[in-house]
Amino acid sequence: MKKKYFYLILGLIIIVALGLFLATYIILQRDSTTGEEGGGQTNPFANFFPFGKPSEPTTGTTPGQGVGTTGGTGNTPLFGQEITNPLRQISQTPVAGSYTVLRGGKTYALHVERNTGNVFETKLEDMTQNRLSNALIPRIQEAFFGNNGKSVVLRYLEEPLDTIKSFVLDVTNPLKPKIGSVVVSATGTPDTIPNGIFLPKDIMNVFPTRDGSNMFYSTRSSDFATRKFTGTAYNSIKGTSADVFQSPFSDWLPVFWDGTTVFLQTKASQLVPGYLYSFNTKTGGTQKILSEKNGLTTLPSPDQQKILYSVSTRGGIALYLNDRKGVYGADMEIQTLPEKCVWTNDSIYLYCAVPNFIPSAIYPDDWYQGSVSLNDNIMKIDIKSGDTTSVLIPDNRANQQMDIINMSLSPDEKYLTFTNKKDETLWMYDLTGAE
Amino acid sequence: MKQKCFLLVIFIFLATACLFFLQKTSAFAQTYNESLLGSDSGTKFKTFTIKINPEVPDAGEEVTASLVSVQLNLDASNINWTLNGKTIESGLGKKSVAFTMGGNGEQMTIRADIETIEYGTVSEEKTITPASLDILWEADTYTPPFYKGKALPASQSTIKAIAFPSFSEKNGPISESQIVYRWSRGIDIDEKNSGTGKNIYLFTGGYTYNRDSIELTATSLDKSISAVKRRDVVISTPKILLYQNHPLGGILYEKSIGNSFQLKGGEFTLRTEPYFFSFITRNNNDAAFRWNINGESLEINPDNKSEFTLRSPETGSGSVKLGIEINNIDLFRLQRASKTINLTYSN
């Protein structure tokens, strides 16, 4: 009897062990299959497929086409980069916008490929990349992620009238069956189209909250004499919009938005004195923060109490720090534009891309117009002590010069992500692995 | 008897004169003493005043209050400063004090009490209401979509100046429509466009390199608050910048094309952006585009005259001068710009 039980238990153990072995084999096989879908990201034309057409698996060592995992699995990161190098390239093609998000203790960088509108997700710990959307919307000029990365506002020009279109793509479900004519682009005649909604046409600027849950966007009426600037709050989670601000002056540029308070800066030129105001959209309270500063461009801190700003000097730029009341102005003793900086969440530190040389030009006008390009190094500044430390010299790490824009910190502040304006490629810098 | 009467008259006359003199000297002393007590005593004359800088401060702005006197030795006097009833500074010869204005509508009262050897304690106080006035302006000129910079005014472009007052009283902010605006251009007051609630001023700018001076006086209806602002608008010149119109990437606004350009095979679409012309769009009907290669005019697409596609020849290489000239067909505006690039091509 005892022997019978013994054989029964032994048989069960063998069956369970076989089952576990089989399940492990299937999972590993599936992972290796999706990983092999890579190829062709380096060739922008390779992505030029009609909406929703699944891409053919291709061979190659570079990351892939299809929706799914691409790149390596830990040991073989994107583009064969050394994971030990804290400076790593996330995209080899131009990028229209990016965003970092934490999921399950891991940090993911999302980005929109400029040439295709495709959305990619890169796990920054091991540089594995996944295409989240292959909905094709080419010629993207700007992209802003919202709703924790689940949606993205894609902005592009409809020619020849140069109408600015802003399409909110559902990243979690990027395609839907086509009914009627193609909505987003005239390219291809597929049976699916991008899934999303259009915001009003000719939105001049979009500025998201730090977490992307809400976006402030601005429009203006067409007749010059009577035109009005309207600021609208777009809730990217609910998908609802509400007008929250109006002004007879329309050369405003939003530089901060937390869902209630918007900081509006007058559009900058070296030849014109600039202003910065804050407007509480709930109470109507207005505060003038900075005034009468030529070439003024600004970066308010997350706690809204400090303002990093630059002014034009003869042929160059000077960077200052003020508190919100404008009581003191500290010369930062570095020359850069606030657009090249990012605040830490505690509003105590700044990471700034600082040009190693400022060519003589009209700032910020010439830089905005693409007539002058800068070569930056990244520095960290403690605004309490004034200490400045060098963080990254791109030339040393990547053997190339970078004109850094759109710098942002991951939510856990372990990674810096930024775009090189020279070729619009996206990069990350691992602050935990930095020497 | 006569002598006695004469002496009596003399006595009465002298007594009256003495009384009159005493009365007058007493009145003088009273006036003189009152004048030392400042505004609290309710007299016209003051021995010192409090000067506020700036005279009409903005909400949240740092303000300096300082004492001015020709009669008192302020350096040898003990001075006590109070702000809204609380002492903020005191000591020997403390002639000035700095403080920060509160928010909109928050009035502040600054008071100085001076202990003098000659006249005892004399006092003065001033109530300050924050107010500010700015003039923001914008021009009707073109900049490309997504451009973050300012659209600068060109010759004869239309400019819109907008008043940004921040006036407050005890009950709260004063509405923009409850303020009287008085606009001047140069030395001429524009009565037609001035008045209550007229916070927008439209005008045609001068010619290139001119400077248009706008002055605005804004006054509350009860005339209790008034501020003046002057703004100079410098007229710029339009300019042409070229960008690549990439078939997939769109217009590459990040990098403008300089004075030389290499075309290596294939085709390349150039996009001209007419910065700071008085055009609503780049293909505006008022825009006259002239393209030329080595001085010979090129035929352009009338529906998209600001773009030109270059194609490399199948064989050979060389270089040409590509020229672009843009004029505003409204000749009175005198808006014109041109650009030439050296184009090198090879297959």
Tell me the per-residue pLDDT of A237-285, one tens digit each, with 9 for 90 and over. Answer: 999 999 999 999 999 999 999 999 999 999 999 999 999 999 999 998 8
Q: Which pLDDT does position B131 carry in this prediction?
A: 84
CB-based contact, B150 to chain A, within 8 Å: yes
d(CA A275, CA B137): 11
Q: Distance of CA B238 to CAs A190, B231, B304, B334, Å?
A: 44, 22, 20, 10
pLDDT at A422: 97
Two domains, one topology: B132-234 and B239-346: yes
pLDDT, average across residues A109-116: 98
Q: What is the model's pLDDT at position A38? A: 31
Tell me which residue in B149, B162, B234 faces A368 most closely, judged by beta carbons: B149
- Percent of chain A's residues with pLDDT above 90: 68
| Shortest CA distance from A253: residue in chain B | B148
Indicate if the pLDDT at residue A287 is higher than 90: no
Give the pLDDT of residue A280.
95
For the ranges A70-74, A150-154, B20-24, B316-320, the lowest mean pLDDT is seen at A70-74
Residue among B100, B146, B243 minimizing CB distance to A142 = B146
| CB contact (8 A) between residue B140 and residue A224 | yes
Residues of A with CB below 8 A from B56's CB? none
Overall fold of domain B48-128: Immunoglobulin-like (2.60.40)
Q: For residue B140, list chain A residues with Cβ-Cβ distance below 8 A.
A: 224
Give chain A's mean pLDDT. Answer: 84
B53 against A68, higher pLDDT? B53
Q: Is B136 on the interface with A (CB under 8 A)?
A: yes
* DSSP secondary structure code for residue A10 in this structure: H
State the smallest CA–CA distance between residue A115 and chain B in angstroms: 5
Cα distance from A106 to chain B (closest Cα, Å)? 31
- Close Cβ partners of A162 (under 8 Å, ≥ 6 residues apart): B144, B145, B281, B282
* CB within 8 Å of chain B, chain A residues 211-250: 222, 224-225, 248-250
H or E element at residue A6: helix A2-35
Hey, of B61, B150, B203, B272, which one would you mutate to test binding to chain A, going by the most A CBs within 10 A of its CB? Answer: B150
Are A114 and B249 inside 8 Å of each other by CB?
Answer: yes
User: Which region among A136-150, A271-285, A326-340 has the lowest average model confidence (pLDDT)?
Assistant: A326-340
Residue linked to tokens 């902010």: B173
- The whole-angstrom distance between A71's CA and the closest CA on chain B is 24
> In this complex, is the C-beta atom of A272 within 8 Å of any C-beta atom belonging to chain B?
yes
Q: Is A328 on the interface with B (CB under 8 A)?
A: no
Phi and psi for A364 in degrees, rounded to 5?
Answer: -85, 0
CATH class name, domain B239-346: mainly beta
Residue among A140, A164, A268 whose CB faces B150 most closely:
A268
pTM: 0.80
- A249 with B136: Cβ contact below 8 A: yes
The residue that leads in pLDDT, A73 or B267, is: B267
pLDDT band at A354 (very low <50, low <70, confident <90, very high): very high
Domain residues of chain B, as ranges? 48-128, 132-234, 239-346
A46 touches B: beta carbon within 8 Å: no
Q: Is B253 on the interface with A (CB under 8 A)?
A: yes
**Total CB pairs under 8 A between chain A and B:** 136
What's the pLDDT at A181?
54
For the sheet with B267-275, list strands across it.
Answer: B250-251, B239-246, B267-275, B307-311
Separation of alpha carbons B125 and B47, rounded Å: 13
Interchain CB contact of A288 with B (< 8 Å): yes
A123: nearest Cα among A93, A101, A145: A101
* Per-residue pLDDT at A171 exceeds 50: yes
For residue B337, the SS3 value is strand
pLDDT of residue B284: 76
Mean pLDDT (whole number) for A290-314: 95
pLDDT tens-place string over residues A37-52: 333 232 222 232 223 3
Among A45, A140, A288, beta carbon nearest to B58: A288
Shortest CA gap B149–chain A (Å): 5
Q: How far is residue A82 from each of residues A74, A77, A398, measured CA to CA in Å?
A: 11, 7, 11
Residue of B nearest to A323 (CA): B60
Does residue A74 surpass a pLDDT of 70?
no
Least confident residue range of A91-100, A178-187, B292-301: A178-187
Per DSSP (E only), the strands in A124-257 are 128-133, 140-146, 151-158, 163-170, 175-177, 192-194, 196-198, 205-208, 214-220, 229-235, 240-247, 252-257
In angstroms, the CA A216 to CA B101 distance is: 30
B292 burial level (CB within 10 Å; 0-12, 13-18, 19+): middle
Below-70 pLDDT ranges, chain B: 1-46, 104-105
From B150, B250, B283, residue closest to A156, measured CB to CB: B250
Nearest to B134 among A291, A365, A368 (CB): A291
CATH 2.60.40.10 fits B132-234, yes or no: yes
Structure letter (DSSP) for residue A343 = E
Q: Which carries the bigger pLDDT value, residue A104 or residue A22?
A: A104
* Strand partners of residue A98: A111
